[in-house]
Amino acid sequence: MKTLTIHGSGRDSQIVVGGRLKDVASYIPDERIVVISDENVAQHYRHEFPSTEAIVLGTGERIKNLSTAQAIYRRLIELEADRSTFIVGIGGGIVCDITGFVASTFMRGLHFGFVASTLLAQVDAGIGGKNGVNLDGFKNMVGTFNQPQFVICDLQMLATLPPREIACGMAEIVKHAAIADPGLFAFLQERCRRALELDPAVLERLVFDSAKIKSAVVNQDEREAGERRKLNFGHTFGHAIETLTGVSHGEAVSAGMAIAAAISVKLELLPPDDAEQLKELLMRLNLPIRVAVDLQRIAETLGKDKKRAGDNIHLVLLQRLGEAVVKELPLNEVRALVQASDSLME
């Protein structure tokens, strides 16, 4: 078990890599607990939940909306939850995002923590204090910045995940390696197969190093005014792809990273060989580098993205494997680059 700390503006957040769901109550002061989880997690782990009061959601990105948040608020009122109630989200990125948002806004904010049950949540979605819901298909349009008191990354829970879910988490690990850690990139290149087989030692390093990279960035820039934008590598395009196609977040980000790498090469920031290595690693991890959607439609959707500042867009590009750079570019230029990236992706 290894821990990390994020120093949020509101409170500190403890990341516990290798902690266990069954021990969650020991991380919570002597308060009443309400659990928020989903059907998949409840099916496997209901017996390990710390409380009999659990709000169990359906699954899938579609439920991550204001209607679900409202249904949870109503249930919390029925349960007579109050400001001394502690909310624990047990699940993947969707459960963490909704739980964090509901807990941050119900009665203007209750204390909360997560048990991250998916690789994606453990290496990315559960960490960093961004929470929220989608609106009309636009990702995370409504939310807050607010750190959970803890994020327990229970590595043993990964055993019940389908391979596709593992691949999606790998996309964010690749992202972290690509923007900040050449050593992690090389480690993953060498242990691709063992990673996909969930070798415990390999997993522990991948999760811990990813959480470390993300924590360090968030500690520098909790509210995404600068450094944190680097974590959006692949995501500006990924979110557009997700909106347009409905593929999973990890798959969309994977294809988005391929586009961003192609643009990085086109702008002569990144050596072509580095882009090739990135795409090869993604493919070996069973992740797509292209999706069935017209690049022009991706380009058109970019205008609705949160990362836009006025008529410019903050685009995260690579200078080499392990080093990202943020460029503020006119939206129209980015749209043109996306469309031109088509020929570069083959």
For the bound state, the minimum distance from the C-beta of residue 73 to its own copies, rounded and expressed in Å, comes to 6
**For 181-248, where are the alpha helices, taking DSSP H only?**
182-190, 192-196, 200-220, 235-245
The smaller minimum CB distance to its own copies, of residues 46 and 74, is found at 74
Point out which span in 15-23, 142-150, 166-174, 287-295 binds its own copies (CB under 8 A).
142-150
**Residue in the structure block whose two tokens are 């002569």:** 268
Name which of residues 179 to 218 contact its own copies (CB under 8 A): none
Residue 332, classed as helix, strand or coil, is helix
Give the Cα separation of 162 and 30 in Å (integer): 36
32 forms part of the interface with its own copies (CB under 8 A): yes
Nearer to its own copies among residue 109 and residue 246 (C-beta): 109
Nearer to its own copies, 43 or 84 (CB): 84
CB within 8 Å of 11: residues ≥ 6 apart: 147, 149
Pairwise CA distance, residues 271 & 283, whole Å: 19
The reply to whether 105 sits near its own copies by the rule CB under 8 A is yes
The answer to whether 269 touches 319, Cβ cutoff 8 Å, is yes
Would you say 104 or 248 has its CB closer to its own copies?
104
What 3-state DSSP class applies to 28? coil
By the rule CB under 8 A, 346 interacts with its own copies: no
Binding mask 246-265 for its own copies (x = CB under 8 A): --------------------
Considering the complex, what minimum distance in angstroms separates the CB of residue 186 from its own copies? 34
Radius of gyration of the chain (CA): 19
Applying CB under 8 A, does 91 fall inside the site for its own copies?
no
Question: Applying CB under 8 A, does 79 fall inside the site for its own copies?
Answer: no
Q: How many residues bind its own copies (CB under 8 A)?
A: 36
In a 13 Å sphere around the CA of 129, the CA atoms on its Cβ side amount to: 25
Query: Which structure tokens are listed for 150?
Result: 């803890």
Examine residue 82 and tell whether it contacts its own copies (CB under 8 A). yes
Other beta carbons within 10 Å of 48: 16
Q: Which residues are near its own copies by CB under 8 A?
A: 9-10, 32, 66, 70, 73-74, 77, 80, 82-84, 104-109, 130, 132, 135-136, 138, 140-145, 223, 303-304, 306, 308-310
